Amino acid sequence: GEDVEQSLFLSVREGDSSVINCTYTDSSSTYLYWYKQEPGAGLQLLTYIFSNMDMKQDQRLTVLLNKKDKHLSLRIADTQTGDSAIYFCAESMDRDDKIIFGKGTRLHILP
Amino acid sequence: GAVVSQHPSRVICKSGTSVKIECRSLDFQATTMFWYRQFPKQSLMLMATSNEGSKATYEQGVEKDKFLINHASLTLSTLTVTSAHPEDSSFYICSALTGYDQPQHFGDGTRLSIL
């Protein structure tokens, strides 16, 4: 069945780059997403990428997609304390289809 | 600004109470809305797909008589947790499609605590 896997924790020093990795199983996924959730808050869509793309960059965020390996990564450059949150990798077959989420990676920023 | 509004943001009530959560699309019409649930330190799981003017489609294992969904207009879907019990305590969050080629946008969620 559909599954999205990601590591649960990541610690990064302030100013360094953070790289959060994710793998998914459904090869028919068309949309791949990264969401951010701060404590007690809802979900913020950070970025998304279509399955026919290899890379997408948006300011400090870079998404890389290896469709062959079903591997998605999110790189946050110059990580700041405000980046501390849980990051969810997710996928859907289409934009009007249900979204399958990973368990989330808790990003901890070290001073 | 927010394109999907969810209300209330927080509910605390006694066991046996029924609780209604509203999900509104702002400035756009949403024929389809989704309801997700997130237990503490867990991921989000889809509960049901809400379709305007028709019955909701529930995911396997979600009791449709327990979680009533009404999507009576193109801008409003409601989720009613009937006779809520402590095990229903969770974070409920809705999403809606906002327009052409745009992914779903999520509301800010409702944290439900049943005492």
Lowest-confidence range among A1-5, A90-94, B109-113? A1-5
Residues in chain A with CB shorter than 8 Å from the CB of B106 are 35, 42-45
In this structure, are strands B19-25 and B76-81 parallel, antiparallel, or unpaired?
A: antiparallel
Is A75's pLDDT higher than 90?
yes
More reliable by pLDDT, B98 or A44: A44
Three-state SS at A88: strand
Q: What is chain B written as a DSSP string?
A: --SEEEE-SEEEE-TT--EEEEEEESSS--SEEEEEEE-TTS-EEEEEEEETTS--EEPTT--TTTEEEEEEETTEEEEEETT--GGG-EEEEEEEE-STTPPEEE---EEEEE-
Q: Judge whether A48 is closer than 8 Å to chain B, CB to CB.
A: yes
Are A85 and A107 within 8 A, CB to CB? yes
Query: Which pLDDT band, with edges at 50, 70 and 90, does A109 fall under?
Result: very high
**Consecutive 10-residue runs of chain B (115 residues): their mean pLDDT?**
85 96 91 91 90 90 95 92 96 85 86 95
Residues in chain B with CB shorter than 8 Å from the CB of A41 are 108-109
Shortest CA distance from B2: residue in chain A = A44
Lowest-confidence range among A18-22, A75-79, B29-33? B29-33
The whole-number pLDDT of residue B100 equals: 65
